[in-house]
Homo-oligomer: A and B are copies of this chain.
Amino acid sequence: MALSDAKAGKRNEEGIFAVVGILKQRFGERFQTGESFRAQHAHTTTYIPAQLPDGVLFAETADDVKVAVKVCAEQKVPVIGFGTGSSLEGQVNAPNGGVSIDFSRMNRVLEVNAEDLDCTVEPGITREELNVYLRDTGLFFPIDPGANASIGGMASTRASGTNAVRYGTMKDNVLSVTAVTANGNEIRTARRARKSSAGYDLTRLFVGAEGTLGILTSVTLRLQGIPQKIAGGACSFPTVKAACDAVIMTIQMGIPVARIELLDDVQMRACNAYSGLIYAESPTLFLEFHGSDETVELQSAQFAEIAAECGGGEFLWTANAEERNKLWKARHDAYWACRALAPGLAALSTDVCVPISRLADCVAETQADIQEHGLLAPIVGHAGDGNFHVLLLFDDKTAQGVAVAENFVVRLNQRALAMDGTCTGEHGIGQGKMAFLEQELGGAVDLMRQVKQALDPDNIFNPGKIFHLV
């Protein structure tokens, strides 16, 4: 098939036929082509329609990945990595068909170096599995995007989540990766030292590349000591602006808050109803502090002062694990709480991120937009990063309902870009945000294309994601 056809998203029928035959013979039951398997591996939590791969390989070793990539590369057939399928912008779809590599059986911990606070894992392990494994070492992996995603998927979408404000994002917590590149060889992007100035930062190039430059076969992660003490609580504010002012002061004073989450009034109403809470249905910050007995008490007291200064209500905090877990379970269930607001409607989860000084404006303008258009769309944000999510409940059964949702997303992204923000803080571009990426970075996207074409000249790795090549 001509490269221009592959770029244009056409299916390479001959190549796919050959690859399916070879992989069936090579892997037997571990390579599945039944529709239910293929459908499971294209499922996506957006309104973007599913596009099924032609077969699913359940990889068990890095050598399996090398074989699959070599076979696909020879035939110029797409290869798409699959962790748990929790990505939100169509990242695992197969618009040109091809092979999905499922990593659920590559979920081993390969090495833990407790003294160095690092570990190396296979890409299919989920963050919860990893933390269960680590519990006895006194260490934990902090990044928590909400979903129990796989580490490989989290690395590939540059995920972050509730405690990025303290621990950073995947970009800050991946020390190195191994990846199978277009020639079927495995490379390692860095050694295990905590920092390096040795050449281009290939680790950060693979983190966030959404599987378009190669297939990860292992990830080396930074770990953290489990805090001696964890305290948390919630505090309500009269306005989003007041809550955001409290966030800015907290960050400026250097209080090392571990989580600082903003839930708007609609989200609070949903959480109260769904999780049986009795919080005020006004903008609320959920907080968590990690440290020693002394430091979490100190930090909580400092925050309480800030909250009072910004017109917030009383800050009630607790180090009691049960009460704290109830609070955070409500936060983690925010998605389901929203869905319960309108069970008949579909849900579209989208995210943008702006400089913190613009967060209050961006949220307030978005709320006004929601109201003006008669939409139902709770807002929840990782306020310490200026990142927020809107869960738009919409009718996906009608073209008009879909258009309403699409137009809302366009306005939301243009608002964030106008504030020097980004069209995605943590969900990635996938298929859903390509147009916004062009608006956001302009000519820089051409550099991305040049990198892609250099490392994957036949466009076999997750084609049709992040940007169009033609």
Where the two chains meet, the residues of A that have a C-beta atom closer than 8 Å to any C-beta of B are 113-118, 157-160, 164, 168-169, 171-172, 181, 185-202, 204-205, 207-209, 224-225, 227, 248, 251-254, 256, 291-292, 294-295, 298, 353-357, 385-387, 417, 420-429, 433, 436-437, 440-448, 450-455, 466-467
29 residue pairs of the A-B complex, CB under 8 angstroms, read: A116-B356, A117-B251, A118-B355, A159-B197, A160-B197, A169-B195, A188-B442, A193-B353, A193-B420, A194-B356, A195-B387, A195-B422, A196-B353, A196-B425, A197-B208, A197-B424, A198-B433, A198-B436, A199-B208, A200-B209, A200-B448, A200-B452, A201-B205, A224-B254, A225-B254, A295-B298, A451-B451, A451-B455, A454-B454
Do A440 and B198 touch (CB < 8 A)? yes
In this complex, which of A181, A197, A252, A453 has the most chain B Cβ atoms within 10 angstroms of its Cβ? Answer: A197
Contact of A466 among B191, B199, B437 (CB under 8 A): B199
Q: How far is the CA of A249 from the CA of B440 in the complex (A)?
A: 44
Q: How far is the CA of A442 from the CA of B199 in the complex (A)?
A: 12
Do B254 and A428 touch (CB < 8 A)? no
In the complex, the 4 A-B pairs of residues with the closest C-beta atoms, listed nearest first: A454-B454, A204-B204, A115-B357, A196-B422
With a cutoff of 8 Å between Cβ atoms, the chain B residues found around residue A292 in the complex are 298
Contact of A191 among B113, B209, B421, B433 (CB under 8 A): B421
Q: How far is the CA of A368 from the CA of B112 in the complex (A)?
A: 30
Contact of A204 among B118, B197, B205 (CB under 8 A): B205
Q: How far is the CA of A169 from the CA of B193 in the complex (A)?
A: 13
With a cutoff of 8 Å between Cβ atoms, the chain B residues found around residue A251 in the complex are 117
With a cutoff of 8 Å between Cβ atoms, the chain B residues found around residue A444 in the complex are 187-189, 199, 202
Q: How far is the CA of A254 from the CA of B223 in the complex (A)?
A: 11
The residue of chain B having its C-beta at the shortest distance from the C-beta of A196 within the complex is B422
With a cutoff of 8 Å between Cβ atoms, the chain B residues found around residue A252 in the complex are 114-115, 117, 225
